[in-house]
Structure 1
Amino acid sequence: MPGITSQYLDRYRRLTAGDGTGALLPVTGAQRRFVLVRSLDPSGRPDLVPMFFAFPHGTVDPARLRTAARRLAARHTALRSRPTVVRGTPVLSVGEPDVPVTRPVPAPGERPADALRRALASWDAQGPPLRLFLVHDEERREDILAVVLDHAVCDGRSLARIVEDLGAAYAEDATEVAREETEAERVAYRDAVLGQLAAEERADTPDAAAHWADRLRAVRARAELPRPQGVPDGALPTGAARASLPARDDRVPFPALLDACRAAARALHGPGHVVPLGYPWGGRPAGAEPVVGCFLNTVVFPADTGQDPAPEATADAWWDDLDHADAPFDAVVTAVRATGSGWTGGLDGLLTVDDDNRRPPLRLGGVEGREVHVDGRPVRAPFAVSVTQGAEIRLRMVWDRAVLADDTARRAFDALTGALRRPHTP
């Protein structure tokens, strides 16, 4: 029987046969996962990737910003394409480069962060995948610019390119992007996606299915947690904790980060569980143009909360996983369920890792924005950990207060930071 990727490509080719407009583009396995997750959410809520920057008040010209954002979308097909499903087939529908710049006004008693959270909560999934929000912070005499993307069109590796290109477009005097440039990028984007799908098709093998079926056999449908009494009135739906650790010359190896997340999972669930944690991995296919898009696959780490394995054991298992990391997420879930597992692909934790050197600041008109956080936004798992390595190691953990009580989550965060303070094996 053909693999999931082969079946998808066959459906896509039949759907677009005879269509010379190029208005419907294929999606990667990573994008299929986001479309699936959205379809299973009763509210249809998309996953959003926001970046927030504070500028001195009055230094951002909204009209110039909107023109720059339109040029940005004209140059990157993914930023003007809406994820949709046509006759049961997930696709991207290419549209015009329309990027709204909305200026939410805080209600009486609201802070600027409240206005931004309210704006993001009202996100219409049928609208443009890239939107900008500009909110005035009267107390700090700043304007907070939110650059927000639908995660189904953009992965974390694209963010630096978007920030850099938005700043460059803001500095330009031209108002329109040549149609030839737009069309050339659309072709490059389509070729990159087809190259990614070809790689996923090659990776969707019986050997990969057997690896993931064995590796994730013990994962449960969703590890049970004692439910909190409820989110207190007036509290944000998610909590957050942060810490900074001294940087190390050799950086923290990825297996050590996985073991630290295992420690957090043990603090939450106790020993004797295998908790599914997801992390993005991968890149653009070999030879593809460095297009903006969603290419990073979600790889699952089975965090066994029993005794800590030797660091070498985690590293060896992780390297074995990477040999099969191109297998699309939906194929992995199918392979695990074929063993009789009740796991449907839900993740009990998420891990993302970034490098300070890969996050250029946003400069608009020669003014550098200060990147800030807006907490309290929804999280797609009980908890999510982000690690930024650079001059220091910055840790941030957010959690769903409907699932985790604050004191329980903070114990898990303490376990996470404690594990990373210990010496690690390179």
Structure 2
Amino acid sequence: MTSDTALRLGDGATPTESDPTQRLCELFATALELDAVTPDTDFFLAGGHSLSALTLAVAVEEAFGVRVRVRDVFDAATPELLASRLAGLVPGAVEPAGPAPARQRPDTGLPGAEVAEATRWLWLERQRGDGDSGAYTVPCLLDGEGAVDADRLAAALAGLARRHPALRTVFVEAQGEPRAVVTDDVLPLEVVDLRGHDAGDTRFDALVDERLAMPFDPSAGPLTRTTLFLRDDARWSLLLLADHLVCDGRSLEILATQLVAAYADPAAAVAPQDRPAHRSSGQEAALDHWRRVLLPPPAPLPLPVRGLRTEQAGSATGIAVQEIGPDLLRRLTQLGRRHHAGPFVPLAAAVARTLAAITGSSDICLGTPVDRRARLGADDAVGFHVATVPLRLEVRDGTSADDLVQQVAQRTMDAVDHSEVAFDTLVAALAPPRSPGRMPFFDVWVALYPRIDTGPCAPGGIALRGGPIPLRVGMFELSFQFVQHVDGMRLVLQYDTARYAADTAERMVRRLGDEVARLLGDPAEPGPEAAPAHRAFGGFRFDD
């Protein structure tokens, strides 16, 4: 390592400069939520995935002052390899890391504040479609543990509203654009007592469905609803509902975790300590990447729809369900780790293979969400902090499982690294042909939702466990949703009932099960198992 490299040795060197590998071990351990790692610990074999790799990349930027991508962590997945990679980053050859320059926004005299591009795209999408359908609701059902006090729970919710401005935000229209207005509202808690009801569970299911069907009004608010169901003397559940404009999947686990903490100690509901936003690769660099990947644009998949696409996708949906047991999930996770990814990557590969088999197409493009909190400096903030990205894949007969999973892993990493472009900006810049009733670039959505578990119930406190639940309406015509639970994972295929027959959806689900088995059955050399390590804290993290 020479004196003109990004990591310099010599007199007056800082601890980071004099022993970069040791500092990287510390950063790896923090990102993985482990007590310690060794210089040869593989980040992904130890439990990392693309989003935790993004968190690590941002932390390395802060420590070493050079631009670090998720791709760098993907290619150099141990502290010693990443130290060598950073040592080759000569000052001036890369863009220095650091806070993005403040954007000077003129005082327009309009109400509220300008919104982020991703939020603007979502607001415009609901204006173009049926914004009152409930498709833009983010639903979460949690089973409670511990003796719950409704007043304490209501006070904890009020504390979270003070902590997270997104929970008090409404959106008004000014000159055809959305503007965010932060109110002084608190989060209301509805209490429904079903104790002693002869048909408690049936009534409970009906009441949950009733609340799921109630859309939010972005201009009126509040854009969150919380219902405490007292089901019997020892059992209670919490239904969290929010408008997508102020909440995403990761927000649900943040809310659950912080609600439990605020219930135990009201002082825990303080303002989040967010980091400053970091530089990204830049809009033009990101658009150049997407031009290379998406042009010429993929042809619409010849999916087995019945009739013409005349209505907005997802106006009425059904679901087809298949369970993925713990052993199968463990093997999928191991397959992903061999390719520096989490379980999302092999699951997306299985979806791509399923669509290729159904349609006869080798050019498969999927839509998926990417959580951008680490880049935005909003690690523990509730809000809409995701970007929609396309994953374009080449799926040909004879492609091995390892080759396909490796391709999906690389495309996922690149999508995370270039996710700063809002989807409507991407569509406007690349101008793909538009077909009525179809999304540009992709027809099929894929997402993974980890199980929410706030940990053991402390004396006098509460604990929450559960996750997202399906809606009766949706934003896409086909949505493969993988939801982890205590006994494994559940595939929920949400499909547009006007476009797909129920038996067609069931065949897709069965075919996906076959493709998962094929991926796991392809011969491949087993990768090394992760070295056993003690977790300091289990944590909650969305995958990929």
User: Per the shorter chain, which TM-score range?
Assistant: 0.7 to 0.9
Kindly provide the amino acid, as one letter, of the partner of residue 335 in structure 1.
A
Q: Does the aligned pair in 2 maintain the 1:208–1:327 contact within 8 Å?
A: no
Asked whether the 8 Å contact 2:216–2:243 carries over to 1, the reply is no
1:127-176 CA distance string (max 9 Å, x none)? 212220123446x96332101222222222233221111111122357x9
Please give the alpha-carbon distance, in whole angstroms, between the structure 1 residues aligned to 2:398 and 2:178.
41
Q: Does 2:237 correspond to 1:144?
A: yes
Aligned residues: 388
Alpha-carbon separation, structure 2, partners of 1:60 and 1:162: 17
Alignment of 1:373-392 (within 5 A): 374-375=469-470, 377-387=472-482
283-292 or 257-266, which deviates more: 283-292
Which of 367, 383, 408 is 1:293 aligned to? 383
CA contact (8 A) 2:366 2:442 kept: yes
Q: Return the letter of the residue paired with 2:355.
A: A
Partners of 1:287 and 1:318 lie apart in 2 by 19
1:312 aligns with 2:403: yes
Q: Distance in 1 between the 2:193 and 2:398 partners? A: 50
Is 2:288 the counterpart of 1:207? yes
Q: How far does residue 256 in structure 1 lie from its aligned partner after superposition? A: 2.3
Residues 265 and 305 in structure 1, CA contact (< 8 A), matched pair in contact too: no
Whether contact under 8 Å (2:156, 2:263) holds in the other structure is yes
Q: Which runs of 5+ in 2 are unaligned?
A: 1-101, 309-315, 528-544
**Alignment partner of 1:256: what SS?**
helix
* 1:34 CA drift (Å): 1.8
Q: Which residue in 2 is equivalent to 1:102?
A: 190
Asked if 1:367 corresponds to 2:451, the answer is no
Asked if 1:270 corresponds to 2:363, the answer is no
Match of 2:508 among 412, 417, 422: 412
With the length of structure 1 as denominator, give the TM-score of the two structures.
0.75
Q: Which of 125, 128, 137 is 1:40 aligned to?
A: 128
| 3-state secondary structure, aligned to 2:516 | helix
**Where do residues 308-347 of structure 1 align in structure 2 (5 Å cutoff)?**
309-310=399-400, 311-312=402-403, 314-315=407-408, 316-337=410-431, 339-340=432-433, 342=435, 344-345=439-440, 347=442
Residue 258 of structure 1 corresponds to which residue in structure 2?
A: 348
Measured in 2, the distance between the counterparts of 1:73 and 1:325 equals: 28
Task: Report SS of the residue matched to 1:298.
Answer: strand
Deviation for aligned residue 1:372: 6.4
Deviation at 1:65, TM superposition (A): 1.8
CA contact (8 A) 1:243 1:395 kept: yes
Amino acid at match of 1:241: V
In the alignment, is residue 225 of structure 1 matched against residue 305 of structure 2? yes
**Structure 1 CA distance, aligned partners of 2:397 and 2:184?**
54
Tell me how far apart the structure 2 counterparts of residues 36 and 287 of structure 1 sit (CA, whole Å): 22
Question: Unmatched 5+ residue regions in structure 1?
Answer: 1-8, 229-235
CA distance in 2, matches of 1:114, 1:375: 14
* Range 239-248 or range 416-425, more displaced: 416-425
Aligned residue in 2 for 1:73: 161
Say if 1:219 and 1:302, in contact at 8 Å, map to a contact too: no
Could you say which residue in structure 2 is the equivalent of 1:398?
Answer: 493
SS at match of 2:334: coil
Among residues 318, 328, 353, which one is paired with 2:448 in the alignment?
353
- For the 8 Å contact 1:385–1:395, the answer to whether it is kept is no
TM-score where L is the length of structure 2: 0.60
How far apart, CA to CA, are the structure 2 residues paired with 1:166 and 1:296?
A: 22
Distance (whole Å) between structure 1 residues aligned to residue 467 and residue 335 of structure 2 = 24
Shift of residue 396, structure 1, vs aligned partner: 1.7
The alignment yields a C-alpha RMSD, in angstroms, of 4.0
2:490 alignment partner, SS class? strand
Aligned to 1:232: none
Distance 1:275 1:308, change over 3 A: same
With over 3 angstroms needed to count, the CA separation of the structure-2 counterparts of 1:105 and 1:308, relative to structure 1, is farther
Q: What's 2:228 paired with? A: 134
Q: Higher mean Cα deviation, 159-168 or 94-103?
A: 94-103
Amino acid in structure 2 at the alignment position of 1:118: E
Any conservation in 2 of the 1:219–1:276 contact (CA below 8 Å)? no
What amino acid is aligned across from residue 416 of structure 1 in structure 2?
Answer: L
Q: Distance in 1 between matches of 2:383 and 2:210?
A: 26
CA distance in 1, matches of 2:514, 2:227: 37
Q: Deviations over 1:177-197 (max 9, x none)?
A: 7xxx65xx6xx77x86xx47x
Distance 1:123 1:65, change over 3 A: farther
| Worse-matched range after superposition: 77-86 or 114-123 | 77-86
Query: Is the 8 Å Cα contact of residues 159 and 266 (structure 2) preserved in structure 1?
Result: no
In 1, the alpha carbon distance for the partners of 2:143 and 2:484 equals 22
Corresponding residue number in structure 2 for 1:117: 209
* AA at the equivalent of 1:242: Q
SS of match in other structure, 2:480: strand
Counterpart code for 1:250: Q
Find the residue that maps to 2:138 and give its secondary structure.
strand
From the superposition, tell whether residues 335 and 98 of structure 1 become closer, same or farther in structure 2 (CA, over 3 Å).
same
Read off the aligned partner of 1:157 and give its amino acid letter: R
* CA deviation vs aligned residue, 1:279-336 (integer Å, no higher than 9, x gap): 1124225482522322221111246676464443534555554553333211221234
Q: How does 1:52-63 map to 2 (within 5 A)?
A: 52-55=141-144, 59-63=147-151
Question: CA distance change for structure 1 residues 324 and 54 in 2, over 3 Å: closer, same or farther?
Answer: closer
Q: Residue 223 and residue 105 in structure 1: after superposition, are their counterparts in 2 closer, same or farther (change >3 A)?
A: farther
Is the counterpart of residue 29 in structure 1 residue 88 in structure 2? Answer: no
Q: Report the alpha carbon displacement of residue 260 of structure 1 after superposing the two structures with TM.
A: 0.8
Quote the Cα distance in structure 2 between the aligned partners of 1:99 and 1:90. 23
With 248-257 and 72-81 compared, the bigger mean Cα shift is at 248-257
SS of the residue 1:13 aligns to? coil
Distance 1:298 1:388, change over 3 A: same
